[in-house]
Amino acid sequence: MSVQSVVRCDSYDPDLMREAVRRHFAALNIGRYIKPGINVLIKPNLVAARKPQTAATTRLEVVRAIAECLRSMGVEHIVLADSPGGLYTAQALDTVYAVTGMRALQDVLELNRGTGYRQRGHFNIIDPVCEADLIVNVAKLKTHSMTRLSAGVKNLFGCVPGLQKPELHYTYPEAGAFAQMLVDLSQIVKPQITVLDAVECMEGDGPTGGTMRRLGLLLASDNMYAQDDFAARLIGMDPGDVIMLRKARAQRLYDLEDVTYVGDEPVYADPPFRLPHAVTVDVAGFLPGWLQKPARFAMDRLLKPLPRLDRDKCVGCGKCAESCPPGIITIREHKAIFVAKGCISCFCCQEMCPAHAISVRRRLRR
Ligand code: SF4
Ligand code: SF4
């Protein structure tokens, strides 16, 4: 049996956030996890150094409300940790904390600046995750160029240190294998609670290149798979199209019959969230409704999505090359150069590009 708690929040007003988190914690009976001397980890989505209003990262107001509620329950040791895209160094972490606003939270929690990790199963996992007694996964609701949905399960990819993430993309280039890897990872990290920041979400070319879309919800659950399924439906996405959810359901990690919904009436996005271009360059959208699904199915199999560079926007920073799993991007004369051969369509390059210089084109598969 799992609980899905739903609270409507029109904004990130601190009082609204505190009240929403208080209701979630009561609904999920979080007190059962709190013991003297407990180490709590808050794992936000800090995918990259992006400002809060871009909707790419978890908002600091959500994290603050969670930390304050935990403190009011007697928790003294709370650490915030994530491994964003790119290098996992103290300097890179500091930049991300500064740009995302997390630096302002140092009065209520500790910001991790360590870069150690250890092996858990066949993954390397950052130290604060391994050391925590209670993990509160605080994800952001977004569409995603590779996995279609980014919420609770996808957020845990940030438990893998730095450039080992592109290595996993390279090891699991096929979408099904990558999705299974994410489910395996989430079974190792096993957060007790997942809070989903769906007040301001991202649609389109997520996880970093899309646009903000307001849904006005803060969600929380003790089953992140069921909550991801619920969140997909809220934004008009068929959970059956999200491979990691299909895998989780096949492994009986959730059953919608076993979910108890508490709190407010949910809000459903109307119209549905725009999907990333990598998922569908949506020519099918111009066809009659009954033809759209088979047309999209055929396009997905015939056409391979590839990154396309806008040279005018490229500032030559090299972040795409640093994160490209097969290493097919080079920087010459302050511009990125892509070799199409060998591209595994993971879109780490698009995710890391601070200049939004990378879009998606489709080419016939060979
Ligand atoms: S070019 Fe971009 S999409 Fe292709 S493998 Fe490299 S990072 Fe992934
Ligand atoms: S494409 Fe983007 S990430 Fe790559 S070098 Fe240009 S600006 Fe930097």
Find the CATH number of the domain harbouring 71: 3.40.50.11440
How is residue 363 written in tokens? 């080419």
Which residue has its alpha carbon closest to ligand 1 atom 4? 343
Are both 45 and 144 inside the same structural domain? yes
Is 225 contained in some domain?
yes
Is residue 226 within 8 Å of 1, Cβ to Cβ?
Answer: no
Of 208, 231, 263, the domain-final residue: 263
Q: Which helix (H) or strand (E) holds 301?
A: helix 289-302
**Tens of pLDDT along the chain (366 residues)?**
999 999 999 999 999 999 999 999 999 999 999 999 999 999 999 999 999 999 999 999 999 999 999 999 999 999 999 999 999 999 999 999 999 999 999 999 999 999 999 999 999 999 999 999 999 999 999 999 999 999 999 999 999 999 999 999 999 988 899 999 999 999 999 999 999 999 999 999 999 999 999 999 999 999 999 999 999 999 999 999 999 999 999 999 999 999 999 999 999 999 999 999 887 544 555 667 677 667 666 666 677 889 999 999 999 999 999 999 999 999 999 999 999 789 998 899 999 999 999 988 877 666
Are both 115 and 195 inside the same structural domain? yes
Is 75 contained in some domain?
yes
Q: Is 359 in the pocket of ligand 2 (CB under 6 A)?
A: no
Q: Is 236 in the pocket of ligand 1 (CB under 6 A)?
A: no
Long-range pairs of 341-344 with CB within 8 A, sequence gap ≥ 24: 343/306, 343/307, 344/169, 344/170, 344/173
Are both 47 and 132 inside the same structural domain? yes
pTM above 0.85, yes or no: yes
Is 277 contained in some domain?
no
Please, what is the Cα angle at 260 between 264 and 69, to 5 degrees? 60
Of 200, 231, 263, the domain-final residue: 263
Are both 161 and 18 inside the same structural domain? yes
Are both 121 and 227 inside the same structural domain? yes
Is 276 contained in some domain?
no
**CA 199, CA 317: separation in Å to the nearest integer?**
32
Are both 291 and 169 inside the same structural domain? no
Q: Is 173 in the pocket of ligand 2 (CB under 6 A)?
A: no
Q: Is 315 in the pocket of ligand 2 (CB under 6 A)?
A: yes
**CA 165, CA 86: separation in Å to the nearest integer?**
9
Are both 210 and 290 inside the same structural domain? no
Query: What's the structural domain count of the chain?
Result: 2
Site to substitute for ligand 1 among 171, 314, 324, 345, most atoms within 8 A of C-beta: 324
Ligand 1 centroid to residue 350 C-alpha, Å: 8
